[in-house]
Amino acid sequence: MGLAYLSYGMVTGFSVFSLAQTLAARHVPESTIASVTAIVASPTFFIFFASPILDVWFSRRAYATGLTAVAAALLGASVLLLRNLLLVEVALFIAMSAITMATFALGGWLSAVVTGAAETQLGAWITVANTAGFGLMSLCGADLVQYVPAPLVALVLATLVILPGSIFLLIPSRAPDERLAKETFRAFNADILALLRRREVVIALVLFVLPCGTFSLTNVLGGLGNEFQASQRLVSLLGGAGSAASGIAGSLLLPVIAKRMPLRPLYLIIGVAGGLFTLSLLLLSRTPGTFALAVLGENAIQSIEIACSLAIAFEIIGKDNPLAATNYAFLSAAFNVPIFYMALVDGWGYSKAGIIGEFGADAALGIAASLAMGALLALGCANRPAKT
């Protein structure tokens, strides 16, 4: 079931990585590439507002299948439209919106299927699939566009994206809710308010909004190769195959270590350990080997935290939640918040003190947030009345 998320990883990998490589090879200005990439990726931050529609009219299986098909078709079409950058931007913006909504539908759907320890395993395999799909497109997406005829590339990419959806036929699915959509949007608002009254939900939201497990350095390390005398070839290899392999390995560690403690304390412990790892990199000489260690280590730790956050989300949603897709979207959006603001913090740190400022700011905030949340959790447990 987790491997169904390969589609999301592939669409994201092409839209934010392969597209940038392709445009650069066509001598598009870097400022334009950055703008296009930001616009194409933007639906991951705001499209959750439309998520209540996923809980009515049609089954979540139908939504996940249809939206994945739309994303696949538009991804393929974008290859045919490369001569017109505006049309490429529109096509991939809609494709990212569709595939993100598909993951919300799938997340709500799977929360009704898995329970207990399977939630942790599912969180791990979702992260594996996202990482593998992104890595696949990072490795070969731009080369396909450059060296293979466009119609064939369009067909191959669309087929690769739609293929993981075949697993949908094997997963049990409920009948759709027959309420009107406008009633669902009202129910969504009421449900969110009800969620915010639950202690475990508030704790999870604070965990996700604070930079306890963000490790946003993974988003900027690709531009720091020169600081470590790393060749462009090494940077590309580590950013593609290296990041994918370390991310998959990190994700699959979660079910093993989650057997030893609850998910929330584990999330915080990994946050502190990861921050200390980031700080330790500053003690090493700036060589290609250190760069490789940074890329592989940061991606592995981030993947564990993402998998853990997904497991926490499934745990909170529960098995019989009528608005599971909207709840999943809401919690996913909360996790994306620090990814945005920590990029600004990391950039500020680099402007002040280079690598030391960037790594130090990222690690210090992550460790401080994790320790603060750990103290609050411990205080809450201490103040909870004992059972009789």
> Which domains are delineated in the chain?
2-383 (1.20.1250.20)
Question: Measured in whole angstroms, how far is the alpha carbon of residue 359 from the centre of its chain?
Answer: 21
Per-residue pLDDT of the chain (388 residues; tens, 9 = 90+): 888 999 999 998 888 778 877 887 788 776 677 678 778 878 877 787 777 777 777 888 889 999 999 999 999 999 999 888 899 999 999 999 999 999 988 888 888 788 777 888 888 899 899 888 888 887 788 788 888 898 999 999 999 999 998 898 888 876 655 555 555 556 656 666 766 677 777 888 888 989 998 888 887 787 788 889 988 778 878 877 888 899 999 999 999 988 888 888 999 999 999 999 999 999 999 999 999 999 999 999 999 999 999 889 888 887 777 777 777 888 888 887 887 788 788 888 888 888 999 899 999 999 999 999 999 888 766 555 544 4
Tokens encoding 352: 């002040």
Q: Which tokens is 16 given?
A: 């934010």
Sign of CA dihedral 38, 41, 43, 45: negative
Helix axes 243-257, 288-317, angle to 10 degrees: 50
Which residues, 6+ apart, have CB-to-CB distance to 79 below 8 Å?
Answer: 145, 150, 153, 154, 157
Q: What SS3 state is found at 386?
A: coil
Q: pTM of the entire structure?
A: 0.78
To the nearest 10 degrees (0 to 180), the angle between helices 150-162 and 6-13 is 150
CB burial readout 160-191, b (16+ within 10 A) else e: bbbebbeebeebeeeebbeeeeeebbebbeeb
